[in-house]
Structure 1
Amino acid sequence: MWSSRGGDEMQRYLEEFEKERVVRRLRIYRWVVVAAGIFLLFRFTQLQIFQGGKWRMVATENQFRKVRLFANRGQFLDRKGRILAGNRPGFNLAVIPADINIRTIDQLTAILDMPAENFRKKIKENLSGARFLPMTIKQNLSWEELSRLEEHGRELSGIDIEYRPLRSYPGLEIGCHVLGYIGEISSAELLQLKYAGYQQGDFIGKAGLEKIFEKYLHGTPGYRFKIVDAQGRERPPDIIPGVSLKPQAPTPGRDVTLTIDLDLQTLAQSL
């Protein structure tokens, strides 16, 4: 009997001990939750009241722009792997209609010796459309023009220098006759299903093999982000702390190897 009572008392003691331990644990959890809530409330108040103006200013004065990175077009190679049609570096002047102002337009027409009226008309036509997409104003800038734009870069708002690979036919004159040629995509072509994903300003094959192998040659464009201020001028990426602007590199088009022999073709042309 004594052993039985002792066992019951021990059991009740263990149950009470376990209950008290659970209660203590719940109290600790409750205080942790309360402390976390107080901290979050304090942090929210700090951001809203004390730092809210700072972040509102950053958001108001700086905006993100997505800049397209053009892909290298695939090359045409002869039967021995020699280049029939390749790429050479080119640079275009593009403007963001929503960011550019009259002062910049006047400066650009002076720097590049461009007709001001035509420039303004082209920008005005785009203000009702894709106002935040780059609009190419001048293609294949010379090194002298690039230098002048770089010199005045801090004064110019809403402009972007695009790297644009240009088609080249090294040492061969058969480009238009056999390979065909490329050109800027038209508004009508943009509506065609086979050009889904293309944008205004893209170059496509217009004739010959350039057109036939377009889907292999075109490649996939990439992008990068830039930060611009209220005047459309590019700002350094660290102007907004803690924001990562990771770019996406373009994917080049695929090369196409033909049965043409460069030596024989050159010989045939010389006859």
Structure 2
Amino acid sequence: MTFTQRQTSPFNPTENTRTMGKGMRAAILFLLSVVVLLGLLGGRLFYLQLIEGDRNQQLAENNRIRLIAKPPERGRLFDRKGNILASSRLAHVVYLWPIAQPKEKWQPIIQRLSEVIGIPAQTILAKLEQEGYNSPNLVRVSSAISPKIVTALLEHSRELSGVQVEPEAVRYYPNGDIAAHVLGYTGEITAEELPELREKGYRPGDVLGKAGLEYAFEKMLRGEWGGQQVEVDAFGKVLRILGQKPPLAGNAVKLTIDLDLQKAVENILGDRQGGVVAMNPNNGEILAMVSHPAFDPNLFSGKISEAAWQRLQEKDHPFVNRVLQVYPPASTFKVVTMAAALESKSYSPNDVLPTYPYLDLGGFQFWDHNKAGFGTIGFYEAMAYSSNTFFGQVGMRIGEKNIAEWSHKFGYGEYSGIELKAEETKGTVPDPAWKQKVIGEPWYIGNTVNMSIGQGDVQANLLQVGMMTASVANGGFKIRPHLMLEDNDAKEWRQSLNISPTNLAALQKSLRAVFEFGTASSLSVADVTMAGKSGTAEDPPRPNHAWFTLYAPYEKPEIVVTAFAENAGGGGGSAIAAPLAVQTVEAYMKVKKQPNAPNNPSISTPVPN
């Protein structure tokens, strides 16, 4: 059988009706699909561009353009000869880039980061939330980290998207714990500090001065932040720098401290608990300020270990600057009593009084330290031997009002003016009104006797005792102690106490007598003459405190030294504190001749406001 193929004509509609219907329906469906798809795309584009256009444009830009803030290098601190006391060293710091991840993805990243760097996840999260999840700024979440942690972060980088390790200058103290209480230390802003400091341009994770001059000079040392605006690819690699503002380093500050003398005095004080301050009596420049126990401020430039923190806790208040804390000044205060007696014209320099084993007032006995008295003596002998019964009689005659008046003139009961005011305790000059208000009791004659010998409720710090000594040494001027080295005329740092020349000479002669035949006669040094006063302060039930304050050379004073040994026990000021002060003078005479540092910078430091 033969089959014949049927030929159809494309021009004959009757022959192709079924095929044509199918093609048209397919085309119509295709067109409808395209229209619907385009409508959906158009609607989405309309939503993205018009409704959320600004937000998505910002997100797109932030994924491509990154703002990398650069902290400034903190201003350096130098001693008077140009030796570096505080500078910076390069370290690595961990940052988060908030916008790199959606909010919901940060939790596992933060948890893993916490495990690597040893900072609680909640602490890291709090810093991120303070800055905000959509912030393009880097958020600092750590202090300096060890090379070991840097390596660990690199190894886990796939799990830590949005985490960056950046080089940064961190505070460094090349001399360790030397002058720790003067310099202070730096640390990160706390959550409690941040709200107030945001207004001053600080941000989460910023570092600022926490104590000492780091705190007092924060405005000068801080500097100004800079940064870079960079374009990055999908992997965060920088493609190009779009713009930059270099950070502005903080101002360098030159201090009055002499590092060589500071080190010498640190060795002289040794492990004794107490303090020593040395200053120029003519202009108030602090040459050395030592307090013990101390701490190494470098510990706070990074993450302090638990072991290091525990070691600090074992010490007795290592962060307290004992030079600026108050104690009963004891017999060093007899200088004030003598000045008040002579200036009130109740006594003349050559008056004499009998002394006794003790004064009996209302059933209370005020003993001389030798338990026998010193016979009939004048002011020079009374100061040299430190007779309590002599100055107790003087105090009863001139009254507490005169003593209080001259206490304030010398600087007691007031802030000294030093830049470390935040850490200074100004002490107490008691009087009847003060006692009634604070203690709720009337004033008794025994209070006046106690006051006249620097006991009872009289409280003073080492700096105030040094200021009093300086006033006698420099010709009767109250000086303002300071730590910033400036080229100002010395007259700007002092004011006259208007002590008569005769009475001033008597005060100087009485302090010289302490070394000539008094409580410090065994400590006279052949090549430098000194004048000063010892003191032994009661602190029941604990052991006594030991004081000694002096100036040298006697003929033309260059240095005042006040030494204090806290709860030193037996021996008193002449046996324990006096050698510390004398050795400090000897050290000063040696180191003052040493040359400046080779690269001693000339610094014009702005006055802090």
TM-score (norm 1): 0.63
Deviations 1:177-229 (A, max 9, x none): 11122222234544447961222221112222111111110011111234456
Q: 1:185 aligns with which of 174, 186, 189?
A: 189
Deviations 1:77-114 (A, max 9, x none): 0111110111111211111234243564465356x264
**1:68 lines up with 2:60 in the alignment:** no
The whole-number CA distance in structure 1 between the counterparts of 2:169 and 2:146 is: 14
Once the two structures are superposed, the pairs formed by residues 111-126 of structure 1 within 5 Å of their partners are 112=116, 114=118, 118-119=120-121, 122-123=124-125, 126=128
| 8 Å contact kept, 1:72–1:252 | yes
| 8 Å contact kept, 1:89–1:163 | yes
Q: 1:246 aligns with which of 243, 247, 251?
A: 243
The whole-number CA distance in structure 2 between the counterparts of 1:209 and 1:186 is: 19
Q: 2:226 aligns with which of 203, 217, 222?
A: 222
- Residues 217 and 248 of structure 1, relative CA distance in 2, 3 Å threshold: same
TM-score (norm 2): 0.30
Q: Secondary structure at the match of 1:62?
A: helix
- Residues 173 and 91 of structure 1, relative CA distance in 2, 3 Å threshold: same
Q: Give 1:237's aligned residue.
A: 239
Q: Give 2:82's aligned residue.
A: 81
Once the two structures are superposed, the pairs formed by residues 11-90 of structure 1 within 5 Å of their partners are 59=60, 62-90=63-91
The whole-number CA distance in structure 2 between the counterparts of 1:139 and 1:226 is: 24
The whole-number CA distance in structure 2 between the counterparts of 1:196 and 1:61 is: 26
**1:140 lines up with 2:179 in the alignment:** no
Equivalent residues, number: 205
Residue identity opposite 1:225 in structure 2: Q
| 8 Å contact kept, 1:169–1:175 | no
Q: Give 1:211's aligned residue.
A: 215
The whole-number CA distance in structure 2 between the counterparts of 1:260 and 1:178 is: 9
| 8 Å contact kept, 2:209–2:218 | yes
| 8 Å contact kept, 1:65–1:225 | yes
| 8 Å contact kept, 2:127–2:204 | no
The whole-number CA distance in structure 1 between the counterparts of 2:202 and 2:61 is: 32
- Residues 147 and 122 of structure 1, relative CA distance in 2, 3 Å threshold: closer
The whole-number CA distance in structure 1 between the counterparts of 2:225 and 2:171 is: 16
Deviations 1:222-270 (A, max 9, x none): 112344567xx413315xxxxx512222111111001111111101111
Residue identity opposite 1:254 in structure 2: N
Instruction: Answer with 166-175 or 148-157: which moved more.
Output: 148-157
Q: Give 1:167's aligned residue.
A: 171
Instruction: Answer with 142-151 or 253-262: which moved more.
Output: 142-151
**1:150 lines up with 2:154 in the alignment:** yes
Larger Rg: 2
The whole-number CA distance in structure 2 between the counterparts of 1:201 and 1:178 is: 25
**1:270 lines up with 2:274 in the alignment:** no
Residue identity opposite 1:126 in structure 2: L
Give the superposed CA RMSD. 3.2
Q: Which has the higher contact order (CA 8 A, sep 6+)?
A: 1
Deviations 1:127-167 (A, max 9, x none): 47522233333322111222333345466421122333222
**Structure 1 residue 65: deviation in Å?**
2.2
Residue identity opposite 1:63 in structure 2: R
| 8 Å contact kept, 1:104–1:157 | yes
**1:261 lines up with 2:258 in the alignment:** yes
The whole-number CA distance in structure 1 between the counterparts of 2:218 and 2:197 is: 14
Q: Give 1:108's aligned residue.
A: 113
Q: Secondary structure at the match of 1:246?
A: strand
- Residues 185 and 88 of structure 1, relative CA distance in 2, 3 Å threshold: same
The whole-number CA distance in structure 1 between the counterparts of 2:244 and 2:190 is: 28
Q: Give 2:180's aligned residue.
A: 176
The whole-number CA distance in structure 2 between the counterparts of 1:248 and 1:196 is: 19
Q: Secondary structure at the match of 2:208?
A: strand
Q: Secondary structure at the match of 1:237?
A: strand
- Residues 209 and 120 of structure 1, relative CA distance in 2, 3 Å threshold: closer
Name stretches of at least 5 consecutive residues in structure 1 with no aligned partner: 1-55, 239-243
**Structure 1 residue 119: deviation in Å?**
1.9
The whole-number CA distance in structure 2 between the counterparts of 1:80 and 1:181 is: 22
- Residues 129 and 88 of structure 1, relative CA distance in 2, 3 Å threshold: closer
Name stretches of at least 5 consecutive residues in structure 2 with no aligned partner: 1-56, 269-609
The whole-number CA distance in structure 2 between the counterparts of 1:179 and 1:113 is: 29
Q: Secondary structure at the match of 1:259?
A: coil
| 8 Å contact kept, 1:183–1:206 | yes
Q: Give 1:20's aligned residue.
A: none
